[in-house]
Amino acid sequence: MMRWPSLAAAILSLALLSPGGPATPHDGAAKAADGATKAADGMIVYGVIPPRFGSPPLRAVTQNLPALADLGVTTLWLTPIFESPPGDFGYAVTDYLTVREEYGTRADLDALVAEAHRLRLKVLLDLVPNHTSAKHPYFRDAAARGPSSPYFRFYQHDPRGAPVHYFDWSHLPNLNYDEPGVVRWMTDASLSWIRTSGIDGYRVDAAWGIRERTPSFWGAWTAQIRRARPDAILIAEASARDPFYAAQGFDASYDWTSEPGHWAWEKVFDDPDDIPERLDRALQETAARAPEARVLRFLENNDTGARFITRHGPNLARVAAAALLTLPGVPCLFTGQEVGAEYEPYDVNRVVHLDRGSALRDWYKKLIALRAARPSLRSRHWTRVPVSVRSVYAYVRTEGAERTLVVLQFGDQPVNVVLELPDRQDQSATWRDGVGGPSPRMDEGRMSLSLPRWGVAILGSN
C-alpha cells in the first residue's frame, strides 16, 4: 500500500495485542471459492492508477479500456477510489461508500464497470479494511470523546489507550476486528459495491494485518462475499508463502518473502551474472512453503518505487516480462508497464499514454496471447532445465500432453547454450518456436540454441 519500512516497529507494537497462532481453514470459504479459483489460473491482472490515465480519472480509464482489452489482460485492479483526504494516494479512507470526488461520480464508476464487462474485462476495487484515515469521522469522534465514544472500540488501542498503527503510519489507525460493529461495517461496505456497481471482487490492502490480529475474520468475510457473488475474485496483499490465505478463500496472494512488503524478486535482477540462480531460489522458496497457493507475480506495482525499466533498462525488462508471463502464478502488470512508462507511483501528476505503439507493448501482447493459447503456460507445473551457460535460465511447463520450453538469456553477450532436457518425451519431441526466436538443434537428447544477448526462446510441443 506504500513504501514499507522495517517490520520491527510493527512487531513491537503488537507484542501485547495480537492473539497470535494460526487459524484453521474456514470450510465455508474453501467450498465457496473452489469454482472461482479455477478461473484465476487464466487471469492476467492490470493495476490502474486512475489519475495517471487523465482527467476526470474514472472517465479517462473508461476511454482507455479498449487499449487494455487489446493488450489481452483479463482483470483490472483500480487503486483506491474511495473518499480520502486531498493529496493522499487513497489508502487513508474517510468514507468507504463514496467515490472520491476528484475521481468522478458513482455513475462514472458504473459506466466504467459496464464498459469493462462489455469488453470482457473484470474490475476489482482496492479495499482498505486494515485501518482508516485518522481523519475518518469515526476516528475523530473516538479521539475527541475517548471511551465514551461509540466508535472508541472500533479502533485498536494499546494498554495505555493510545491508538495502534503499523510502521510509521500514524495517520492510519488500525481497526479492531474483535468488535462486532467493525466486522458488520466492513462486510456491509464490501458487499455494497458488488451489489450496486457490479464489481467483480477486491484486491485487499494489508490483509496480513488483520490476519495478525483477528485471523478468524477472513474466512467468514470471503464466504459472505461469495454468497453474494460466487465468482468473485479476491486477492490478498499478503505473502503467498503463508498458506493461510488460500485456506481462507482468497484466489491469490503476493509474491513476497515471509516479511510483509518484501518482494521475493526484490534483489533478483541486481547482479546480471547471478539472475538465474537468484530467480530459482526465489521460485523454489515460494513453491516449498505454499505449493498450493496461487502467487500474484509482478515486476512492479504501487510499492516498488522507480519502474523496472528505469532500474534495469529496456533489454532486461523485455526478458523479465517473458519470465513473468511464462512462469506459474497470476501475472500482474501495472499502469504503463507495457509501454515502458517511467514514474514514481505515488507522484500522480503525470499522465501515462497507453495508445502509443511500441516494440515493448507488441512484445507484451505477444506473450499474453501465447499464454492464453497454451494451457501449459497457465498450469502450476514447471521443471527447471539444466543449461551450460550461467546467464541462461530454462524451464519446461506442462499440461497434459502439451509442453512448453522457455529459455531466458539474461546476459549482455550472445551465447551458444546446451540444454539437458530431463524427460525422454522432451528429448524426442518436435519443438516449434512461439515468439520468433532461434530454432533449436537436437543431438542425442540435448538441445542446442544460439541466443542473442537478452534473448528469449519459447518453444512448444504437444
Residue 431 or residue 32, greater confidence: 431
Range scoring the smallest mean pLDDT among 3-17, 165-179, 361-375, 377-391? 3-17
Highest CATH level, class, for 8-373? alpha beta
Given this model, what pLDDT does residue 353 score? 87
For the domain covering 382-461, report its CATH number: 2.60.40.1180
Q: What are the start and end residues of each CATH 3.20.20.80 domain in the chain? A: 8-373
The answer to whether residue 33 scores a pLDDT higher than 50 is: no
Strands 415-420 and 446-451: antiparallel
The answer to whether residue 153 scores a pLDDT higher than 90 is: yes
State pLDDT tens for residues 445-454.
899 999 999 9
**pLDDT (mean) for 95-120:** 98
| Greatest CA separation for the chain | 80
Given this model, what pLDDT does residue 203 score? 98
Residue 198 backbone class (left: φ over 0; alpha: ψ -120 to 50; beta: rest): left
- Split at pLDDT 50, 70, 90, the class of 387 is very high
* Nearest CA among 212, 189, 223, 165 for reference residue 36: 223
Q: What are the start and end residues of each CATH 2.60.40.1180 domain in the chain? A: 382-461
Q: Where are the alpha helices (DSSP H) in 308-414?
A: 308-326, 359-373
State pLDDT tens for residues 403-438.
999 999 999 999 999 999 988 888 888 899 888 888
Given this model, what pLDDT does residue 373 score? 96
Given this model, what pLDDT does residue 422 score? 82
The answer to whether residue 226 scores a pLDDT higher than 50 is: yes
State pLDDT tens for residues 256-288.
999 999 999 999 999 888 999 999 999 999 999
- 289 near 241, Cβ under 8 Å? yes
Other CB atoms within 10 Å distance of the CB of residue 432? 12
Question: Number of H helices and number of E strands within the chain?
Answer: 13, 18
Extract the runs of DSSP E, i.e. beta strands, from 128-255: 201-204, 233-239, 252-254
- Split at pLDDT 50, 70, 90, the class of 29 is very low
